[in-house]
A and B are shown apart, each in its own frame.
Chain A
Amino acid sequence: MTIKTVAELAAEGKSPEFLFWVGCAGSFDDKAKKVSRALARLLTEAGIEFAILGTEETCTGDPARRAGNEFLFQMMALQNIQVLNQYGIKKIVTACPHCFNTLRNEYPTLGGHYEVYHHSQLLNELLKQGRIRVKPDAFKGKKVTYHDPCYLGRANGEYEAPRSLIRQVFKEIEEMERHGRQALCCGAGGAQMFKESEKGRKEVNVERTEDVLRVAPDIVAVGCPFCKIMIGDGVKHFEKEDKIRVADLAEILQEALDSPSAV
């Protein structure tokens, strides 16, 4: 797949409608890279003009900020804002709720003002406009549940776009008892992803996966690369990886694409 970088477009005197902010997980983690490719394909399918920053992209600073390193966060943020403003970026889409939250809510204070979309929001819009069409029976007979990412749900109040998107492909969503505002964290946020957890009875992702197992779905839909890793590990912990699949919203949508160019 060839995706142009913003720099390449700039050399042609052009600027993309959307910047696809891939994020560190989307760039380097194997599970999340699949999501990046799925999203890129969907955006192409919908005819969206987009580009990535490529090697000019760096961490937004989110995990540093949550871990208390405000210095590092601000350094990263100011550098990123300089790059984004220099290219005149107006709209950003990202598959990572942490990047989404930081770019949308925390960059404006430091001089970066963009229209930022979580991919579930943009994809849901594209579905409504008919720019992406899906086969309604792609996952026929499969049961799905949805795990709300903290940084999309509680942090930004977006509970509906991902659900609306899932309902385009699945008849209904079997909700976990703790969902929406009360959804339990996967355990990765606040820089926990990058450290051992503190002493306790169990891991947060195991507690959350127990919620999943109670629903016994075929698919757990997620909207965050870190949730994907955490819930995936949880499912493995219970040796259920043959029965339960953890998939990002973009992957689900891509597999249900109704299009001659779809794989």
Chain B
Amino acid sequence: MKYLPNILFFILLSAGIGFFTFQIKKIIRYVRMGRPTDRSDRPAERWKTMALVALGQGKMVRRPLAGIMHILIYAGFFIINLEILEIILDGLLGTHRLFAPLLGEVYDFLIGSFEFLALGVLVACGVFLVRRYGGRVPRLVRSGDLKGWPSLDATIILFTEIVLMTLFLTMNAADSLLQERGAEHYVRAGAFPVSSFLHSFLQGFGENTLIFLERFCWWAHIIGVLAFLNYLPYSKHFHIILAFPNTYFSNLEPKGKLRTDENVLKEVKLMLDPSAQPEPVESGSLPSFGAKDVTDLTWKQLLDAYSCTECGRCTSECPAHLTGKLLSPRKIIMSVRDRLEELGRLRDKHGPDYKDDKTLLGHYITPEELWACTTCNACVEACPVNIDPLSVIIDLRRSLVMESSAAPAALNMMFTNIENNGAPWQFSPADRALWTTES
């Protein structure tokens, strides 16, 4: 019976990590439903982009309040994870504060700084709750894009972080009080600059109650961490992991450069070169142009969708959205994820070639949204994790125009003009140099 806690902990940890691995594999499978695109070039530049944008939070601080508060939570979670390692080892080995004798004063410093970070996380989560529920930040209001689940998701994330940090600090407070009272097993270790303020609430409790409280917080904290880890893949909070690969695989080309559609290029070359031989086409696999569904997007565009935390910085800078049009780049990305999850689950159930009667274009994203875009790149520039909503909009427009011939009439007119007179307006090509002689 002596080893029961260790065994219990081992089972919990294995289940937590095992289920998380299972979910990660599922998401990798879904992302691979996308078309290939090569993002393996220029590794040095890629590491640098990741270091600046994800690790360094370079784009977050462009909005100072949200940026600094985010860094508090980010630093808190990142660094407190060092403590998780000790907690896991303690849990497996049945030790208490395993690293204390090894690190000496450094340990005191570390535990002390974790406490300040935990306090920082609490403060920032509080500020974020006020921003979300205060209704003063338009991109965070609980209507529009964020109606329903996305808002609930945000609330769950913030409350979980508050609960985890509270457990962590209460555990430390009980621990340090037990240390002061010389309780068995509770060796003097660590510095508790923040949690010691909780002592006044705990002084009245006896040793057994404090031990129970300390153990309860210890277990609840690590169970909470494992549960939160497994919540990530269902949540927009997944960005804490995917921000890194997503920025690594960023588009490194100038933002103005659009991807050349290779299927179109083959056709165009055939048209321009009468001697060219068409490649034999297998029946049932006619090339398609642009993107109608998530499987027509590249894997990077699908990774974008999983990396989005729905902060709405893109939408808050979109000229179409700012002037009341239907388009919201955030919603475009959210739709890609929703559709991918739907199709992914269906294919898990019915096999990898399964097709339902829905598509991203039409069922999730309407032409009105797509035609409101000015391709200004404000959304791409604003995204703190380098998501590219514009590329999705363009790919869907391509499908609308080239597969469905569904461009607005005015644009069809413009196409005709370009084809016939080499200009988007109806001017004669013979008049092209008249400007030189006018005054």
Q: Mark B342-383, 1 if CB is under 8 A from A, else 0.
A: 000000000000000000000000001001111111101100
Report the nearest A residue to B418, measured CB to CB.
A59
Check A69–B257 contact: CB distance below 8 A: no
Question: Among residues 130 to 184 in chain A, which have CB atoms less than 8 Å away from a CB atom of chain B?
Answer: 150-151, 154-157, 181-182, 184
Question: Among residues 32 to 54 in chain A, which have CB atoms less than 8 Å away from a CB atom of chain B?
Answer: 33, 36-37, 40, 52, 54
Q: Does B197 contact A (CB under 8 A)?
A: no
* A57-B432, A59-B422, A67-B397 known; A78-B272 Cβ under 8 A: yes
Check B433–A198 contact: CB distance below 8 A: no
Question: Among residues 172 to 201 in chain B, which have CB atoms less than 8 Å away from a CB atom of chain A?
Answer: none
Q: Does B8 contact A (CB under 8 A)?
A: no
Q: Does A17 contact B (CB under 8 A)?
A: no
Report the nearest A residue to B423, measured CB to CB.
A24
Residues of chain A within 8 A of B396, CB atoms compared: 68
Report the nearest B residue to A97, measured CB to CB.
B256
Check A188–B432 contact: CB distance below 8 A: no
* A68-B401, A204-B323 known; A194-B381 Cβ under 8 A: no
Report the nearest B residue to A59, measured CB to CB.
B418
Interface-facing stretch out of A105-113, A238-246, A250-258: A105-113
Report the nearest A residue to B426, measured CB to CB.
A28
> Chain A: how many interface residues by the 8 Å CB criterion?
71
Check A194–B424 contact: CB distance below 8 A: yes
Interface-facing stretch out of A1-9, A85-93, A121-129: A1-9
Check B407–A69 contact: CB distance below 8 A: yes
Question: Among residues 55 to 72 in chain A, which have CB atoms less than 8 Å away from a CB atom of chain B?
Answer: 55, 57-59, 61, 63-72
> Chain B: how many interface residues by the 8 Å CB criterion?
69
User: Chain A nearest CB: distance from B181 CB in Å?
Assistant: 57
User: Chain A nearest CB: distance from B422 CB in Å?
Assistant: 3
Interface-facing stretch out of B79-87, B157-165, B314-322: B314-322
Q: Does B216 contact A (CB under 8 A)?
A: no
Check A70–B272 contact: CB distance below 8 A: no
Q: Does A12 contact B (CB under 8 A)?
A: no
Query: Which of B257, B260, B317, B376 makes the CB contact (< 8 A) with A190?
Result: B376
Question: Among residues 417 to 439 in chain B, which have CB atoms less than 8 Å away from a CB atom of chain A?
Answer: 418-419, 422-425, 427, 429-439
Residues of chain B within 8 A of A208, CB atoms compared: 319
Q: Does B43 contact A (CB under 8 A)?
A: no
Q: Does B325 contact A (CB under 8 A)?
A: yes
Check B319–A207 contact: CB distance below 8 A: yes
Question: Among residues 238 to 267 in chain B, which have CB atoms less than 8 Å away from a CB atom of chain A?
Answer: 253-258, 260-261, 264-265, 267
Check A199–B394 contact: CB distance below 8 A: no
Query: Which of A54, A74, A198 makes the CB contact (< 8 A) with B325?
Result: A198
* 14 other A-B residue contacts (CB within 8 Å) besides A58-B429, A190-B373, A195-B408: A27-B432, A28-B431, A28-B435, A66-B258, A66-B394, A67-B397, A74-B260, A105-B257, A106-B258, A182-B317, A191-B414, A194-B411, A198-B372, A201-B323
Residue positions of B touching A, CB distance < 8 A: 253-258, 260-261, 264-265, 267-268, 271-272, 289-290, 317, 319-320, 322-327, 368, 371-378, 380-381, 394, 396-402, 407-408, 410-411, 413-415, 418-419, 422-425, 427, 429-439
Residue positions of A touching B, CB distance < 8 A: 1-3, 5, 22, 24, 26-28, 33, 36-37, 40, 52, 54-55, 57-59, 61, 63-72, 74-76, 78, 101, 104-106, 109-110, 150-151, 154-157, 181-182, 184-185, 187-204, 206-208
